[in-house]
Amino acid sequence: MGLVRYLQHWLSGTGAPLHVTDFVPDTHPIRQWADTFPWAALVAAIEHSFAQRCPQQSPRGRRPVPIRVLLALELLKHELGGSDEDICHRLRTDFAVMYACGLREYQAPRSQGHFVLPETLCEFRGRIDEALMDELIAIQAAAAMEEGLVSPAHLVIDTFPCEQGSQRVTDATTLYKAQKKRAR
């Protein structure tokens, strides 16, 4: 009965927020995936790049969506093979996606401020240029080498756990083949 009362207050917006980590076990693949990223360094690199290229911020309109949320949604969209609409919908309904986006507490808000529109995700993706992408890959590669997850000899980045023997083609595999072909 206590759980029903707890959820009743939460749904009405007057109770304590739910802790997302209580609903996503440590063994969940998306949680394991999210815990491998150096989020603070990635977000700082994006904020620095955006500040240089898009310095004007308007106080009008709704609050901006945190960069961590947009970056996590963009990465998850590619790893899970979904569309912008699918991943934005999962942010509203899937606690594992909320965890990956850095949302640690959730309460049914009246403002719907945590929602991300597919158009917002598309605009974010358009602002990521090649130089920024190279910097993000370098940050992640350095973090992976620091943790001992990869060796620097043959660094190929695949950030999402998948079944052994999977024949999934990745950009890193394509890049490796292109570099090998160019060396000949």
pLDDT, tens digit, 9 for 90 and up, residues 13-29: 556 777 888 888 889 89
Residue 173 lies in a domain: no
pLDDT of residue 1: 46
Give the dihedral sign, CA 74/78/83/88. Answer: negative
- Number of residues assigned to the chain: 184
The pair of structure tokens assigned to 58 is 């308007």
Quote the number of domains for the chain.
1
Q: What is the pTM of this model?
A: 0.66
Asked if 156 contacts 173 with a C-beta cutoff of 8 angstroms, the reply is: yes
pLDDT of residue 22: 83
Residue 178 lies in a domain: no
Residue 158 lies in a domain: no
Average pLDDT, the chain: 76
Residue 160 lies in a domain: no
**pLDDT tens across 55-87, in order?**
677 777 767 788 899 999 999 988 888 888 888
Residue numbers of the domain that contains 78: 2-152
Q: How many CB atoms lie within 10 A of CB 11?
A: 11
